[in-house]
Structure 1
């Protein structure tokens, strides 16, 4: 297993992985279409932010992105067929190590009700609850201090 920086030509694949992973939670096609539009990974995004990929010898298993300026964890996705298999924890612990190496003291993230417990168990703290920009769903705003 390996974690490496993404390359710009992987942008479309990573966008599709994120949409597929969101689809795991049963969100309808309308939601997923809006999600894809708002959270697409572009080549420029990869060039300007910390985008890292978890892979085995054959496949990309997941990825995360930490925005350089805002220190926001904007993407954190595992292939939908691997959700619940421990790969998310592997990525999370690598993210924390990466933040230490890059002198990133804290970061923020937004989570849906389906995944907020995952982040909370790993030490992220809910700082407020609000509405998503997609369908006004409830979301949780969290912070993690490295």
Structure 2
């Protein structure tokens, strides 16, 4: 496996991964169609976010994460294909996102979590800090993890 930077050409596969992952849960076809219309919406998705794609040994994308960087980083997306849910791939992507956000100086990372993924994020050290209504009209938990910013590298 390897994690690489996402590119605009990845947009269709990112959408397929996200919709397949969402479909792993008990959502009906109408909701999944609405979700597919808003996830990874345009060509600028990858250029406006720090997108990382996790590939299996054959080079097939099996998950991805997307971060919006700032003083408070936002985990905009983290999705894993259904056949790898529960295998540790999500934890690998989450750890990578946390490390990247901390390296950019963020003190915490927040996100609207898929309700079925709250337990996963809690196992990673995150907590629920609020609730919001999503653009699809669902109540979503807001989660947070505190980050330890990376130490500056000292010049020799």
Q: Distance in 1 between matches of 2:128 and 2:118?
A: 8
Return the match for 1:116 from 112, 118, 122. 118
For 1:130 and 1:102, locate their aligned partners in 2 and report how far apart those are by CA, in whole Å: 26
2:108 alignment partner in structure 1: 106
Contact 1:132 1:139 in 2 (8 A): yes
TM-score normalised to structure 1 length: 0.90
Q: Superposition RMSD on alpha carbons, in Å? A: 1.6
For the pair shown, which has the larger CA radius of gyration, 1 or 2? Answer: 2
Which runs of no fewer than 5 residues in structure 2 stay unpaired? 148-156
Measure how far apart 1:14 and its partner are. 0.4
The number of residues matched between the two structures is 145
Equivalent runs, 1:125-140 vs 2, <5 Å: 125-134=127-136, 136-140=137-141
Secondary structure at the residue paired with 2:116? coil
Change (3 A) 1:75 1:106: same
SS in 1 for 2:115: coil
**Partner of residue 5, structure 2:** 5
Task: List aligned pairs for 1:49-88, cutoff 5 A.
Answer: 49-58=49-58, 59-68=60-69, 71-88=73-90
- Mark the runs of 5 or more structure 1 residues left unpaired by the alignment: none
Q: Structure 1 pair 53/41, CA: closer, same or farther in 2 (3 Å)?
A: farther
Q: Is the 8 A contact 1:5 1:52 kept in 2?
A: yes
- Aligned match of 2:97 in 79, 95, 98? 95
TM-score, length of structure 2 as denominator length? 0.85
- Hey, what's the Cα distance between the residues in 1 that align with 2:18 and 2:6? 14
Structure 1 CA distance, aligned partners of 2:138 and 2:88? 27
> Offset at 1:42?
2.9
**Structure 1 counterpart SS, 2:62:** strand
Supply the distance in 2 between the matched residues of 1:133 and 1:110 (Cα, whole angstroms). 11
